[in-house]
Structure 1
Amino acid sequence: MLASRQTCSLSFRLARLSFYRYYAKTSTDNPSNLTQDDIGKIYQIPLEATKALAFEKILPSKFNKQVNTMDDCSILCRQQFLEVINCLNVVRPSLPSIRVVLWGKFGTGKTLTLAQTIHFAQTQNWVIFNVKDVMNWTRKVKDVQSSVYKPGRIDLPEYSVDFLQHFKQQNQHVWKTLSGLNTERTYEWTKVEKTMQDRPITEIVEMGIASPLVANDCVGALCRELRRHSTSGAIRLLVALDGGNSLYGKTLIKKADRSFAVPEELSLIYQVKKFLKDDWTNGLVLMIADKREVVDARDTLAVPIDTPIELFTEQGFEDIDPFIPIETKLYSENEARIIHEYYKEKNWLITEEARSDKGLRELHYLAAYNPYYFERLCAFN
């Protein structure tokens, strides 16, 4: 009798493993080879790639804890991700840069889609210009100083150094290529420190990391050189901005007269906004429209504010238009079932009730198919 039960249990586990391997996983873990047939299935991002791309800084905190606990970064391939890939695949040196806005309800996967896109860019040897959260620049006040280059503007030295370090880490896969691209002109940072004409643009990055007082100017010079080399066809450039609508939001930074600065007065914001112009080619700007800028993102009682025209304000909408809006949506029933199977496979779900079909239906009901709430409920069952 005991042997019979053990045999049945083993058969059940093998059947579940077979389902996971053949129905829940994509045919490939290479994002460039994903097709429509892979929608609703899981693919794995190598842990080496997540470390190289600093995913611990750009992934949502709860998902990052899940990755650390499972020692595995597996993400669902969804329609929104393939739509972004299609946009990346049509980028050409002869075409103006493409602007894409990810928008949708809280918890539907905007930041995860941006992280997936960054990984795709790495596999295709794109240069990655990633701002982890624009809202940090405007709301979390750190060290500020008046701009020497442009009177009236405000520099953020600490954020500038942090960004340059982040840029260097994320672009190690193309660092040799970047080292072969030269500056168009001489940049004078101080009376003593300069980056001469025809020097590698990576020297601008190193200068900013070593000298916080000129780091903000180094970011501006780097932006200029990246747009120039992208237009020449030497590189393909992905500009990924989490909280992109904060470029047009509010700040908590006060000027000398005690009034609050507007985003345009922050040098970093001013420099990043230049990527929204049509004067450069061979690149794509991927922005997230996040309602944290105007309301509590988790507020489910207020009138929904999710669309780009609401979140970017009239001025911002005019700046980014024309753009391609891509909506992130709730899980389909099949996507939720696949994630449920993945959590069972990884023993993320502990209780027998949660692992059952009845438990899955209850999780559907409680989470209302919202990916964030579904993951949170699974984490406690």
Structure 2
Amino acid sequence: MAIGMRCRMLSAYVSTLNRLMSSTVVEPSVAVNHMSANSDNSSRIFRTNESNPAKHGENHLGLFYTVPPDVKQLLFQHGGLPKSFEKQVKTFGETCIMVRPPALEIMEYMKAADYSGPAIRYVLFGKAGCGKTLSLCHILHFGLVSGFLLVHVPWVPNWFRRCKESSNSTTRDGFIDLPLDAAAWLIHFKSQNAPLLQKLNLTINNEYVWSKREVTNKGAPLTELIDLGINRIKYASEIIVAVIREIKELSTSGKCKTLVALDGFNAFFSTKTRIKSDDKSMVLPSKVTLTEAFLEITKFDWCNGGVVLTVDQLAACDDRTGSDFPIYQLGQEGFEHLDPFVPVQIEEYNHREVNSCIDYYIDRRWLQSPKAGTDEGRKELEFMSGRNPFQLMKICAPL
């Protein structure tokens, strides 16, 4: 009797198991697609909900954070994001930046810095496509939420390669003004700092005479000086020199904290430009008024601020492809100008960052190949791209 009961129990168990298997079996090809596109992806965390860079820490490394649309509009309305990344932002419908060690390192330094001493200079360097500009954007966002006045140049080489207009300076013999580019930068500066300028109500410490009828009096709002440069582009280059001078004095006096962020800084020390003088001779960067302004604010003769710069092979107008190191890209003059500074190298993605980026591309349907999410597919993408962020984006685009 016990044997008969055991047989009936075994028969019922087998019958139940068969029903369960028949209700869950799927076609092999569908199972592969599901596993490669979803299962591997869902088992990994590649995002963080923390959108405040001031709160980012080591536990956020390798994760993407979302820049709020209003912040993106405020910071990068007039440039700052790489063109290829900007296209990706439009495609994905969101602005996401990966939290990486170099940006986090500089932000930690800035949190611990003594702002009563000279402004500390940080130099980001590394191979092309490794993420120097996006790390600078991450630091800019940190500066915004931390209450810094931002002095940001999206890409310095644009002034020397494709300036909109050039003219002889009326105040400096042998110098060239870039009036349209200078006015555009003043618009960018005013746009980025609009909330802070309204809150701080900064006033200038010097009087500036532009012509017999146009004078900016001591004690006038800083915004009045900026607006003059925007409306009277003839004086825009010289007004930038004045604005930079005022910002240094205001920061040193403790009326504001300033973050200087210049992308492609080594362009200031190139030996070639595409700017021509009246006699068709080439104009060196040292003879451009804007160069004087931004070399002035990267000195260490002021306090209550920080300076973050990038040096890049692509920024040099001359051939400097021999090395990525600052001493080579800046040349002797540029290196001596910045010395001492804190060098921070940006390297290719590590293994975790590669997988996080692949997961993000799968999530955004940028990467649709069923095999991309498998271990073999990930290893192949990692090898083909050399872990270079830009190359990984290019390789994934058609997949």
How do 1:232-271 residues align onto structure 2 when only pairs under 5 Å count?
Answer: 232-249=253-270, 250-271=272-293
Kindly provide the CA deviation profile for residues 111-145 of structure 1, in whole angstroms up to 9, marking residues without a partner as x: 00011111111111211111111111112133111
SS of structure 2 residue aligned to 1:51: helix
Distance in 2 of aligned mates of 1:226 and 1:83: 26
Identify the residue that residue 98 of structure 1 maps to in structure 2.
120
Q: Displacement, 1:154?
A: 1.0
Partner letter of residue 65 of structure 1? K
Q: Is the 8 A contact 1:29 1:45 kept in 2?
A: yes
Q: Is the 8 A contact 2:207 2:216 kept in 1?
A: yes
Q: Is the 8 A contact 1:45 1:74 kept in 2?
A: yes
Identify the residue that residue 397 of structure 2 maps to in structure 1.
379
Of 29, 40, 63, 2:62 maps to: 40
Of 183, 187, 192, 2:213 maps to: 192
Identify the residue that residue 209 of structure 1 maps to in structure 2.
230
Distance in 2 of aligned mates of 1:5 and 1:93: 64
Q: Is the 8 A contact 1:98 1:323 kept in 2?
A: yes
Identify the residue that residue 146 of structure 2 maps to in structure 1.
124
Q: Is the 8 A contact 2:41 2:359 kept in 1?
A: no
Q: Displacement, 1:87?
A: 2.6
SS of structure 2 residue aligned to 1:57: coil
Distance in 2 of aligned mates of 1:29 and 1:99: 26
Q: Displacement, 1:283?
A: 1.1
Q: Is the 8 A contact 2:265 2:315 kept in 1?
A: no
How many residues were matched structurally? 374
Unpaired segments ≥5 residues, structure 1: none
Q: Is the 8 A contact 1:254 1:260 kept in 2?
A: yes
- Residue 364 of structure 1 pairs with residue 386 of structure 2: no
Instruction: Tell me: CA distance 1:296–1:216, structure 2 relative to 1, closer, same or farther (3 Å).
Output: closer
Greater shift, 39-48 or 197-206, is seen at 39-48
How do 1:287-306 residues align onto structure 2 when only pairs under 5 Å count?
Answer: 287-294=309-316, 304-306=322-324
Of 1, 19, 22, 2:43 maps to: 19
Q: Is the 8 A contact 1:129 1:240 kept in 2?
A: yes
Unpaired segments ≥5 residues, structure 2: 1-21
How do 1:47-62 residues align onto structure 2 when only pairs under 5 Å count?
Answer: 47-54=69-76, 57-62=79-84
- Residue 114 of structure 1 pairs with residue 136 of structure 2: yes
Q: Is the 8 A contact 1:336 1:364 kept in 2?
A: yes
Kindly provide the CA deviation profile for residues 268-307 of structure 1, in whole angstroms up to 9, marking residues without a partner as x: 001110012221101111111111244899xxxx964100
Identify the residue that residue 344 of structure 2 maps to in structure 1.
326
Instruction: Tell me: CA distance 1:295–1:270, structure 2 relative to 1, closer, same or farther (3 Å).
Output: closer
Q: Displacement, 1:57?
A: 1.8
Distance in 1 of aligned mates of 2:357 and 2:315: 30
Distance in 1 of aligned mates of 2:39 and 2:254: 50
- Residue 315 of structure 1 pairs with residue 336 of structure 2: no
Identity of aligned residues (%): 32
Partner letter of residue 88 of structure 2? Q
SS of structure 2 residue aligned to 1:316: helix
SS of structure 2 residue aligned to 1:53: helix
Greater shift, 318-327 or 92-101, is seen at 92-101
Partner letter of residue 238 of structure 1? L
Instruction: Tell me: CA distance 1:146–1:35, structure 2 relative to 1, closer, same or farther (3 Å).
Output: same
* CA root-mean-square deviation: 2.4
Larger radius of gyration: 2
Q: Displacement, 1:37?
A: 1.8
Partner letter of residue 231 of structure 1? T
Identify the residue that residue 8 of structure 2 maps to in structure 1.
none
Distance in 2 of aligned mates of 1:312 and 1:304: 12
Kindly provide the CA deviation profile for residues 39-71 of structure 1, in whole angstroms up to 9, marking residues without a partner as x: 112211112211111267211111111111111
* TM-score, normalised by the number of residues in structure 2: 0.88
Partner letter of residue 19 of structure 1? S
Distance in 1 of aligned mates of 2:351 and 2:323: 25
Identify the residue that residue 184 of structure 2 maps to in structure 1.
162
Distance in 1 of aligned mates of 2:350 and 2:318: 25
SS of structure 2 residue aligned to 1:286: strand
- Residue 142 of structure 1 pairs with residue 138 of structure 2: no
* TM-score, normalised by the number of residues in structure 1: 0.92
Identify the residue that residue 364 of structure 2 maps to in structure 1.
346
Instruction: Tell me: CA distance 1:11–1:220, structure 2 relative to 1, closer, same or farther (3 Å).
Output: same
Identify the residue that residue 247 of structure 2 maps to in structure 1.
226
Q: Is the 8 A contact 1:92 1:281 kept in 2?
A: no
Q: Is the 8 A contact 2:179 2:233 kept in 1?
A: yes
Q: Is the 8 A contact 1:230 1:236 kept in 2?
A: yes
Distance in 2 of aligned mates of 1:50 and 1:239: 18
